Amino acid sequence: MPVEVIGVDDVLKGLNFFDEDLYNRIRTVLTPLMKRVEQQAKGYVASDTEVLSGWAKPASANLDYRPFPKYNSALVKGGIGYKEGKNAQFKNGFQVENYVYNVSAAGRIYETAGRKNPQGRAAIMSTTLKELGNVQGYEGSKSGRKRSTRDYSSNNPFAGYQFVNALEPVTAQPKIKGVRGGGTKTKGRLIYKAFANQSPKIYQAILNAINNTAVDFNKSYDKKAA
């Protein structure tokens, strides 16, 4: 059985081909999958009647301060989109970035509100609330301990609690073998929820692209060695 030793130059050329082929395959498979994340995220946008009624009301034009961003489902949905990032090849590899963005202020609030403190910034419950005036508040922590926060100056010290509890819970990313979890910062109601649903397919598509590139690379060198 003859054995052919391929020179270093040929191997390096082959590796360059492998790198370029893998780069193109990953870009090809990611685009439709990330666009699916975009469309699904838009589908999760709540209507104006599904959030607290006060959040969707327009702010007064006579305010002398920057008001809390008002919710408008059309603007939130319009602020979600897909974009290719820094997709480029380098001497020692490549970088592929595909991401879905959320640019509206209200949309970002809807996405992330309460993911650090699921019950919002809760105040002490008291039957003598009016007599107490400003009520000392507490915020929760992952360990279950509570730490004191500054005094409330709001007319409604329970606003944070009421606001977060009127929203659906945030969705966490599923555990996928070989993929590091993202923690609290990857929980959400729109983009992060959509990515949680699509991520198993996305990671499997990347794995398939790597495997298929390796198979084709080996086949091409098997022909040369025959």
> How sure is the predictor about 213, in pLDDT bands with cuts at 50, 70 and 90?
confident
Total Cβ atoms within 10 A of residue 50: 13
The Cα 54–Cα 51 span in angstroms is 8
Q: How far is CA 224 from CA 9, 22, 85, 212, in A?
A: 14, 21, 37, 19
Give the CA dihedral 80, 86, 87, 91, nearest 10 degrees: -170
Instruction: Confirm if 77 and 45 have CB atoms less than 8 A apart.
Output: yes
Instruction: Return the top range by mean pLDDT from 11-15, 54-58, 123-127, 147-151.
Output: 54-58
pLDDT digits (tens, 9 = 90+) for 133-190: 444 444 444 444 554 444 455 566 677 778 888 899 999 988 887 777 666 788 999 9
Paired tokens of 173: 């990313």
